[in-house]
Structure 1
Amino acid sequence: MGERERRKKKKIIIGSISAVVFLLLILYFGMAMYFRNHFIFRTEINGWKVGGMTAAQVEEKIGDHVEDYLLTVFDRDGGKHHVYGRDIGCKYVPDGTVEKLLKEQNPFGWVVSIFKQKEETTTLTMEYKEDLIEATVKDMSCFIDENITEPQNAQILLGEDGYYVEPEVMGNRMVYDRVLEKIKEAVAEGKESVTLTDEDYENPEYTKESLQITEAMANIEKYADMNITYQVPGGEEVIDAEQIQKFVQIGEDFQVELNEKEIEKYVQSLASKYNTYADVRAFHTSSGDTVNIGGGDYGWIINKTKEAEQLKADLEAGVPVNREPIYSQRAFVEGADDIGNTYIEIDYTKQHLWFYKEGALVVESDIVSGNISLNNGSPDGVFKIVYKDSPAVLKGEDYQSNVTYFMPFAYNVGIHDASWRKGEFGGEIYKTSGSHGCINVPLEVAQTIYENAKVGTPVIAFYREPVELTAENCKISNAYSYKEPEEQPETTP
């Protein structure tokens, strides 16, 4: 082939290529001009395919499909609720958003769009009918009573193993006004979904993590760790954790308080268990038998008022305690047998007295006690020497007597010498010529007792046969055999 032909062929090839390039450029720029007013290929807006459409066409398409609008409402438990556009009179309101998206696209990028999808998500303004959307929200299943679980506060409860926190119940009761407002906003913006949060619900005021509850449990633990031990006659009494838990009560706003009534109740049980005041005792007599004798004023008495106050103070202090109860009266000796082996025994029936000191008989003697026939019978029971007086003057309504030794044990009744007896004691003298209630003994016996018996020494006085004591001193001294005198009928003159 000649040079001339080669040049001709080359010109043809170059011309063809140039023509193709020119045509492609015309096509490229022509399409670019086209896509200045149309969305480029494979464009989607909020899931709608809008490639090749103008803004007006897109808006018309959105408007045509607005009845198919669906808002999915997700609750905090993952449940789904739906709001349909057709149910709320939904209508699309163009606001320039589509036009803005069209202007923001790069029309020269239309070639790339052939191979790559372009997805746009934007807010599309919607209108709805107020009454329809309100009714639709009210009809949602989450607002039907049978589907609602009410919220419940966390609680502090007392179980078998102590106090514990019952967790809150979040429930699912929604706040209608808040949910409605949130749905309105979502619909107005054309959103496809909206998620409800805690602020859209009625929530418990207190959860297990609330400061009030955690602090309350810490205070309860403080009480539960308390260790209170009483030293009581015959041993120990320990207040265990179960009992302490009964003292604790939860007040308003989970304030941990001590229940004073429960404390008083416990102290009463303590007193009932360990008070021996006026208890009936099985007493082994000097005659070798056993008598049951109660009444009198001897024995342990827990001061319930002061002990309750002290127990509350101990609990509030939160430190271990090991102590005696607070007593308003103590027995002569410690231990379950609070009479011990130092005491005065008076057998009214046998008209005899024994005085033991540390188990040894110090003195015994016949006596003369109160005149039974004149209702002056001496009080029976378990008493104690209240005080000792020497010399003493004994006074009554119709008598006055000087004695050397006087040791009262039951109100104004006591043991004393009686010189006017001229050495005659015992037998049945007391039945007709007895005293006004005191225990008459020989001078030397009174002296021995006076010199050896301490104030507080127990006095056990008893009858072996049933008697009815009606004297005032028997009433006041809580005599075991005291009986209220019967009222005498009035006589008509």
Structure 2
Amino acid sequence: MKKNWLLRIVFGIAGVLIVAVIAVLIWQKGYYGNRWYGNTTINGVDVSKQTLAESKQKLIEAHQDYSLTIKAREDGILTINGSDIDYKFDIGSQFDDLFATQHGSMSFFGKKREYTMDYDVDYDAKKVAKIASESALMTGDGYKIKKPVNAHVKYSAEKKQYECIAEKLGNKLKKKVFIQAIEDTLQKAQTEMDLTDEKAFPDVYKAPKITSEDEELQTALSACNNAAIRFIKWNMGEGVTEQITPEEISKWITYKNGKIKYDQTAISDWIEAFCLKYKTVGKTRTIKDHNGKNVKIYGGDYGWQMDYEKTLSQALKALKKPIDASLTEAYINDASTDNQEALTIKCKVEYLNTAFQKDYNNFAVDWDTQNYTEISLADQMVYVFRNGKVAYSCKTISGRPVEGRSTPTGAYFIKEHNTHRVLKGENYETPVDSWVRITWSGTGFHAAPWQSWSSWTKDYYKVRGSHGCLNLEPSVAKKIYDMVKYREAVFIH
């Protein structure tokens, strides 16, 4: 009995609900027979519960003073007024068809109905294209246009490794796509157009070719790290070292088409600056002359000079040396001294010319300040210093002061000794004894028995001067030959 009673209650309630639903549907059919259902919009205009005539009038009124506002990236705005493009609006036949379609199906309360449709519109397409093309969004007049930037790898000095830099979208529009998007929007008589909505306008902007998701980016990251993370080191002596670091190398390499490319010019410039930094040849030096006075000496070939070609070859070889990727990875994870040492390529300093000493506080003090030779062209005298004092001096006759024969000034070094040598020039060939070369161009000490030494004065060279050499009396030439040492500094002033 109890079960039958419960069934009667359930069926009774169900019957009431069915009757209620039927009643609501009948009412809805009657009320909405000539009205749009609730929560209905057409091209963004709310026409809920309006009759067909009311909604048509509302749409017409909404587009009487039509204008389209276009929102772009980087706060760009463009407004196109209907009057500027001869814009004309009419609802069109789709409107009635859409109404019939909506009422041909059941309706449920609360459901949103958002429709889009093309109106019957007319406008001057040439004027639209002209306004769009000449707008700031296209020309950049008062609106900075930024091209898209590909995702790429870049060296981080802080992290001591390369990292992936995300792409930048930019705001450069595709002209034809932009104009077509405007026309599509005008056709729907929409008053707003948001180009920043990538779903609605996916192709209107020029896009980066490489994004952060591209696998090639990870390949480039590994390749660049392996190429750049290395240390190329030279021991300059006196506790001084020079090295090429990953940060420097990162400026010289690019990754393209699966390969690392090197900027040969930049590398050459670095090596040139490196060699010049330690070059003392040609520097101005100050010496104590035979009178104990400071004398500045300019030019010459004495000093340190690295071999640029060999040093450049060392650097290029070290840059391209294969390095185990595990060593690179270890340094990326922990930039410790030990891991850096494992990535260090040591190079021997190659010199074209050397000097007596290195003084990195004063590069010009590279000679033996206690033992050297001074030649005073004004006095026509040679002074040999030993232990900081003049140990020997003698007369000399230098080159005649005319073009092609004068003795060069500057700091030089003794290059060779020959007991006998034949000196050859354009119009002479002279055998000499006790030859000591000072310059590679041919200046040196030698005996000159043909000179009238009894007539010597400090001006004698002006009329009887040599072809550039330092003539000596035969009695002293052997003394100079024995005293001045190979590679010892000679200062001519």
For the aligned pair, the TM-score class normalised by the smaller chain equals 0.5 to 0.7
The C-alpha deviation readout for 1:73-122, integer Å capped at 9, x for no partner, is 9979999x9x99x97422423376346415xx8xxxxxxxxxxx645556
- How big is the shift at 1:176? 4.0
Matches of 1:422 and 1:327 in 2, distance apart?
Answer: 43
Do 1:171 and 1:203's aligned partners in 2 also have CA atoms closer than 8 Å?
yes
- Letter of the structure 2 residue corresponding to residue 153 of structure 1: P
1:153 aligned residue (148, 152, 166): 148
User: Could you tell me which residue of structure 2 aligns to residue 437 of structure 1?
Assistant: 468
Q: Cα offset for 1:265?
A: 5.2
Distance, in Å, in 1 between the alignment partners of 2:401 and 2:25 is: 137
Question: Which residue of the partner structure matches residue 417 of structure 1?
Answer: 447
Q: What is the CA–CA distance in structure 2 between the aligned matches of 1:364 and 1:371, rounded to whole Å? A: 22
Q: Does 1:285 align with 2:299?
A: no
Asked if 1:331 corresponds to 2:355, the answer is yes
Partner of 2:58: 68
Write out per-residue CA displacement over residues 177-203 of structure 1, whole angstroms, 9 at most, x where no aligned residue.
24654786899xxxxxx9954505415
Does the Cα contact within 8 Å between 1:356 and 1:362 map onto a contact in 2? Answer: yes
What value does the CA root-mean-square deviation take over the aligned residues? Answer: 6.4
| CA contact 2:227–2:319 (8 Å) conserved in 1 | yes
Structure 1 position 374, deviation (Å)? 7.8
Which of 430, 436, 442 is the aligned partner of 1:407?
436
Which residue number corresponds to residue 52 of structure 1?
Answer: none
Q: Distance in 1 between matches of 2:347 and 2:222?
A: 26
User: 1:295 aligns to what?
Assistant: 299
Do the aligned residues in 2 keep the contact of 1:87 with 1:133 (CA within 8 Å)? Answer: no
> Residue in 2 aligned with 1:386?
415
Question: Within 1, Cα distance between the matches of 2:458 and 2:347?
Answer: 50
Contact 1:365 1:445 in 2 (8 A): no
- TM-score, length-scaled by structure 2: 0.56
1:388 partner letter: H
**What amino acid does structure 1 have at the position aligned with 2:55?**
H
Tell whether the 8 Å contact from 2:310 to 2:350 is kept in structure 1 after alignment: yes
Q: Does 1:94 align with 2:97?
A: yes
- The CA distance in 2 between the partners of 1:47 and 1:136, in whole Å, is 39
Superposed CA deviations along residues 407-454 of structure 1, whole A, max 9, x for unmatched, are 221322212234557997976484455544333446675446556755
Cα distance in 1 between the residues matched to 2:409 and 2:116 = 103
Stretches of structure 1 that go unaligned for 5 or more consecutive residues are 1-20, 50-57, 106-116, 188-193, 463-493
Deviation at 1:274, TM superposition (A): 3.6
Distance 1:302 1:231 in 2: 13
Task: Give runs of aligned pairs for residues 16-55 of structure 1, distance below 5 A.
Answer: 39=29, 46-47=37-38
Once the two structures are superposed, residues 346-391 of structure 1 have per-residue CA deviations (whole angstroms, 9 ceiling, x without a partner) of 334444434457x488963423323648885533322222333232
* Structure-2 separation of matches of 1:449 and 1:272: 34
159, 180, 197: which is aligned to 1:177? 180
- Structure 2 residue aligned with 1:16: none
Would you say the 8 A contact 1:94–1:124 is kept in 2?
A: no
> Which structure's CA Rg is the greater one?
1
> What amino acid sits opposite 2:148 in the alignment?
N
Q: Distance in 1 between matches of 2:172 and 2:473?
A: 93
- Residue aligning to 1:131: 122
Q: Is the 8 A contact 1:298 1:458 kept in 2?
A: yes
Q: How does 1:1-400 map to 2 (within 5 A)?
A: 39=29, 46-47=37-38, 61-62=51-52, 65-68=55-58, 88-91=89-92, 92-94=95-97, 97-98=101-102, 100-102=104-106, 118-119=109-110, 126=117, 128-131=119-122, 145=136, 150-154=145-149, 168=168, 170-171=170-171, 175-178=178-181, 180-181=183-184, 196-197=199-200, 199=202, 201-205=204-208, 209=212, 231-232=235-236, 236=240, 244=248, 247=251, 269-270=273-274, 273-303=277-307, 320=344, 327-335=351-359, 336=363, 337-340=365-368, 341-355=370-384, 359=387, 364-370=392-398, 372=400, 376-396=405-425, 400=429
The count of corresponding residues between Structure 1 and Structure 2 is 406
When the two structures are superposed, what TM-score results if normalisation uses the length of structure 1? 0.56
Question: Whole-Å Cα distance in 1 between the matches of residues 424 and 298 of structure 2?
Answer: 28
Q: Distance in 1 between matches of 2:24 and 2:377?
A: 135
What is the SS of the residue equivalent to 1:416?
strand
Q: Which runs of 5+ in 2 are unaligned?
A: 1-11, 41-47, 191-196, 324-342
Partner secondary structure for residue 93 of structure 1: helix
Instruction: Tell me the SS of whatever aligns to 1:199.
Output: coil
- Residues in 2 aligned to 1:436 and 1:138: alpha-carbon distance in whole angstroms: 84
Matched, 1:458 2:453: no
Partners of 2:255 and 2:290 in 1: how far apart?
59
